[in-house]
C-alpha cells in the first residue's frame, strides 16, 4: 500500500496551498482529487485580498498571480469600498483573478515541489488506528497516511466521517450565482430592491482608473437573491430564470457552462 506522512483530500485552493506549505517544510505529502484535471466548471471566486498576496509573496510566488491578474482597491466592509493604498505593505491592493486561474497557478507550484496528486480518484471512506489512517479510494486502492486532512470543500465527506461538527447559524439569505447567456442585455452592476441584492457582470473585464469596465460580449456573471432560503436540491437553470424574473423581469436563456448555477 502506498504510504505518505500526510494525505490531503481535495485539490482546491485550500488543499493545494497546504500541500505546498508542507512540501516546503520537507513533509512527504500527497493530494487525492476526484477531478481528473484542475479544470473548474465556471470561474468561481473573483480574486485575492492583500493579505493573501502577502502570504504568497512570503513563499516567493506572488508574481505568478500578479502577472496574470489586475490590481484594484477591492477591500470593503458592509458594502463600503475601502482604499488601502496607504497601508504599509508592498501589496496595498487586491487582485482580480478568477479562481480557475488561481488554482492552475497553485497546481503548477505544487507540481514543481513534486507533490504527487492522485487525480480522478474519489475518497470513499477511511479507517483510523493507533498509528495512522487507511484511506479508501473509488478505484478500490488504498493509501496509508500518518495524518489525513480534509480539504474537500464545504460539504466535506472527511469532516462528516470524522464526526467533526460544522457549527453555525441557519441561513437567512440564499443567493444563486451563475455564468449564463442572457436573452436581454442586463443592466450591469449591483442592484438593490425589495428582494435584496442582485448583480450582473461579464466574466471578461478590465480595471481602468480603478473601475471595473466589462467587455461588451461573453458570458454574464449573475448573482441573485432567492425569495426563500432552505432549498436542499442542486439549483437548476429554471430556478435561476424564475429568481431573475422575480427580481428584475430579465430572463436567462442558456447556461454557457452546464452546471454553473450554484446556491450559496
Ligand atoms: C460560483 C461560485 C462563486 C464563488 N465566488 C467566490 C468569491 O467571489 N469569493 C470567495 O471568497 N469565494 C467564492 N466562492 C467560494 C470559493 O470557490 C470556495 O471558498 C473555495 O473554492 C474553497 O476552496 P477549498 O479548496 O476549501 O474547497 P473546494 O474548492 O470546494 O475544493 C474541494 C476539492 O475537493 C475535491 N473533493 C471533494 N470531495 C472529494 C472526495 N471525496 N475525494 C476526492 N476529492 C474530493 C473537489 O473536487 C474539490 O476540488 C465561490 C464559489 C462558487 C461555486
**How far apart are the CA of 15 and the centre of ligand 1, in A?**
10
- Dmax over CA atoms of the chain, in Å, equals 61
Stated as kind and residue range, the H or E segment containing 55 is helix 50-58
Of 45, 136, 212, 260, the residue with max ligand 1 atoms within 8 A of its CB, to mutate for a pocket test, comes to: 45
Instruction: Give 133-174 pLDDT, tens digit per residue.
Output: 999 999 999 999 999 999 999 999 999 999 999 999 988 999
**How far apart are the CA of 102 and the centre of ligand 1, in A?**
12
Q: How far apart, in whole angstroms, are the C-alpha atoms of residue 52 and residue 93?
A: 11
Which residues lie with the beta carbon below 6 Å from any ligand 1 atom?
Answer: 9-15, 32-35, 42, 44-46, 99, 122-123, 151-153, 157, 177, 262
Q: Does residue 253 surpass a pLDDT of 50?
A: no
258: confidence class by pLDDT, cuts 50, 70, 90: very low
Residue of the CA atom closest to atom 38 of ligand 1: 152
Q: Does residue 255 surpass a pLDDT of 50?
A: no
User: Which pLDDT score is estimated for 192?
Assistant: 87
Instruction: Give the nearest ligand 1 atom to 15 CA.
Output: 25
Q: Does residue 208 surpass a pLDDT of 80?
A: yes
Q: Does residue 24 surpass a pLDDT of 50?
A: yes
Q: How far apart, in whole angstroms, are the C-alpha atoms of residue 124 and residue 137?
A: 6
* Distant-in-sequence, close-in-space partners of 252: CB < 8 Å, separation ≥ 6: 178, 180, 181, 182, 183, 222, 237, 240, 241, 244
DSSP-assigned states of every residue in 121-137: --EEEEEE-SS-EEEEE
Give mean pLDDT, residues 90-113. Answer: 98
Phi, psi of 178, deg, nearest 5: -155, 160
Instruction: Give 191-204 pLDDT, tens digit per residue.
Output: 988 878 899 999 99
User: Which pLDDT score is estimated for 183?
Assistant: 80
Give mean pLDDT, residues 20-35. Answer: 98
User: Which pLDDT score is estimated for 257?
Assistant: 47
Q: Which three cell numbers stand for residue 5?
A: 506522512
User: Which pLDDT score is estimated for 250?
Assistant: 52
User: Which pLDDT score is estimated for 221?
Assistant: 94
Q: How far apart, in whole angstroms, are the C-alpha atoms of residue 73 and residue 64?
A: 19
User: Which pLDDT score is estimated for 256?
Assistant: 47
On the 0-12 / 13-18 / 19+ scale of CB atoms within 10 A, 31 is buried
Whether 9 contacts 35, CB under 8 Å: no
Instruction: Give the nearest ligand 1 atom to 10 CA.
Output: 34
- Percent of residues, the chain, with pLDDT higher than 70: 95
Q: How far is CA 13 from CA 48, 112, 117, 147, 152, in A?
A: 12, 16, 14, 19, 10
What is the average pLDDT score of the chain? 92
Q: Does residue 102 surpass a pLDDT of 80?
A: yes
Instruction: Give 222-245 pLDDT, tens digit per residue.
Output: 999 988 898 888 899 999 988 888
Residue of the CA atom closest to atom 27 of ligand 1: 153
207: confidence class by pLDDT, cuts 50, 70, 90: very high
Instruction: Give 33-87 pLDDT, tens digit per residue.
Output: 999 999 998 889 999 999 999 999 999 999 999 999 999 999 999 878 899 999 9
User: Which pLDDT score is estimated for 185?
Assistant: 82
Q: Does residue 215 surpass a pLDDT of 60?
A: yes
User: Which pLDDT score is estimated for 249?
Assistant: 60
Residue of the CA atom closest to atom 8 of ligand 1: 45
Amino acid at each position: 500500500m502506498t504510504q505518505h506522512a500526510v494525505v490531503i483530500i481535495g485539490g482546491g485552493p485550500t488543499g493545494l496551498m497546504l500541500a505546498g506549505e508542507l512540501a516546503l517544510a520537507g513533509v512527504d505529502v500527497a493530494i487525492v482529487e476526484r477531478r481528473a484535471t484542475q479544470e473548474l466548471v465556471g470561474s468561481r471566486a473573483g480574486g485575492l485580498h492583500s493579505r493573501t498576496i502577502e502570504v504568497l509573496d512570503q513563499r516567493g510566488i506572488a508574481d505568478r498571480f500578479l502577472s496574470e491578474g489586475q490590481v484594484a482597491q477591492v477591500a470593503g466592509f458592509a458594502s463600503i469600498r475601502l482604499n488601502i493604498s496607504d497601508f504599509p505593505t508592498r501589496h496595498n491592493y487586491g487582485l482580480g483573478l478568477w479562481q480557475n486561474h488561481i488554482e492552475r497557478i497553485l497546481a503548477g507550484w505544487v507540481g514543481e515541489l513534486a507533490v504527487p496528486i492522485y487525480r480522478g480518484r474519489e475518497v470513499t471512506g477511511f479507517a483510523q488506528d493507533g498509528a495512522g489512517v487507511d484511506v479508501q479510494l473509488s478505484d478500490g486502492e488504498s493509501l496509508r497516511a500518518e495524518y489525513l486532512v480534509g480539504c474537500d470543500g464545504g460539504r466535506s465527506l472527511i469532516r462528516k466521517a470524522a464526526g467533526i461538527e460544522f457549527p453555525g447559524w441557519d441561513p437567512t439569505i440564499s443567493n444563486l450565482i451563475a455564468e449564463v447567456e442572457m436573452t436581454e442585455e442586463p443592466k450591469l452592476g449591483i442592484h438593490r430592491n425589495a428582494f435584496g441584492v442582485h448583480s450582473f457582470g461579464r466574466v471578461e473585464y478590465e480595471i481602468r482608473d480603478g473601475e471595473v469596465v466589462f467587455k461588451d460580449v461573453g458570458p454574464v456573471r449573475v448573482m441573485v437573491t432567492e425569495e426563500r432560503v432552505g432549498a436542499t436540491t442542486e439549483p437548476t437553470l429554471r430556478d435561476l430564470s424564475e429568481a431573475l424574473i422575480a427580481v428584475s423581469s430579465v430572463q436567462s436563456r442558456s447556461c454557457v457552462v452546464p452546471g454553473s448555477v450554484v446556491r450559496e
